[in-house]
Amino acid sequence: MTDTYCGYIAIVGRPNVGKSTLLNHLIAQKISITSRKPQTTRQNVTGVKTEGPVQMIFVDTPGMHRKQTKAINRYMNRMATSATADVDVIIFVVDRTQWTSDDDNVVEKLQQAKAPILLVINKVDAIEDKEQLIPHVVMLQQKLQVAEIIPISALRSHNLDRLEQEIVRRLPQGIHLFPEDQITDKSSRFLAAELIREKITRQLGAELPYQIAVEIDQFIDEGTLVTIAATILVERDGQKRILIGEGGSRLKTIGSAARVDMETLFDAKVMLKLWVKVKAGWSDDERALRSLGYQDPS
């Protein structure tokens, strides 16, 4: 008989409610990129947290979308739905009292879920009148059968210990699937590409739509020095100009911000070279998506 516990926890919710922020603060490391704009997370990211006898394996999902016009959106929906099928606990994240039809869409998908659902009301630090929450909670309880309702602030790590307790008591007994010091199953290449994408979306805000992808062309790990070469794919010439900026200034800012985060993550000095290439139509092309590593989970 094993006296250890191990289980999978899915983090679901519409875009921009704070799922990636929650994962990062639960793991206390930056493994999932975040931004003010929706659609930052395109792939499920696994974060692993081991505390004594308990191992929690988190999957962060892309937000579920209603509009499925482009191949990339359809792909994101498939990933989000498959993530809830085989887990031990589901964390359903909502943003304060801001309920939208995308939240209803998530509720609809969760109706078939077998795992217990912890409904997390996030960003409570940004609610002025906390009284507003009471009628909202009543409304939520009518929509979906949930095991617990937990108000948190992911950003300020507020009430995350309570959330963790509620997760831990629902995990099955089992041997640990990851070594104690491992925090993610993602490759360093993947994390490097995600960090670059995060810096681009942060720097450019509304200027560039979500039509960028990052390919890692070279990743050489020599222990104290990691050399990375990456290509940023955009859809149009105009986007390439914006991304590069006056005399290359913008690309330089993006590169140095990404490099700083990479040095923390890899605990090494990082040499980063960035290129920008126009590849029209990549985000609506199933084959191009596969070649960029957006694989189906099955």
Nearest distance from C-beta of residue 293 to ligand GDP, angstroms: 19
DSSP 192-241: HHHHHHHHHHHHHGGGS-S--EEEEEEEEE-SSEEEEEEEEEESSHHHHH
CA separation for the pair 170, 166 (Å, rounded): 7
Is there a contact between 230 and 264 (Cβ–Cβ < 8 Å)? no
Helix (H) or strand (E) holding 156: none
CA separation for the pair 137, 134 (Å, rounded): 5
- 20 Cβ contact list (under 8 Å, min separation 6): 32, 33, 34, 40, 41, 45, 60
Q: Which of 31, 34, 115, 258 binds ligand GDP (CB under 6 A)?
A: 34
Nearest distance from C-beta of residue 141 to Mg ion, angstroms: 26
Region near Mg ion per CB under 5 A, out of 35-43, 51-59, 211-219, 230-238 = 35-43
Does the protein bind Mg ion through residue 41 (CB under 5 A)?
yes
Region near ligand GDP per CB under 6 A, out of 105-113, 122-130, 223-231, 283-291 = 122-130
* Subset of residues 132 to 191 that bind ligand GDP, contact rule: CB under 6 A: 153-155
Q: Which of 43, 50, 55, 122 binds ligand GDP (CB under 6 A)?
A: 122
Region near ligand GDP per CB under 6 A, out of 36-44, 166-174, 193-201, 231-239 = 36-44
Does the protein bind ligand GDP through residue 17 (CB under 6 A)?
yes
Query: Residue 157's beta-bridge partner residues?
Result: none
Residues that bind ligand GDP (CB under 6 A): 13, 15-21, 34-36, 38, 40-41, 63, 122-123, 125-126, 153-155
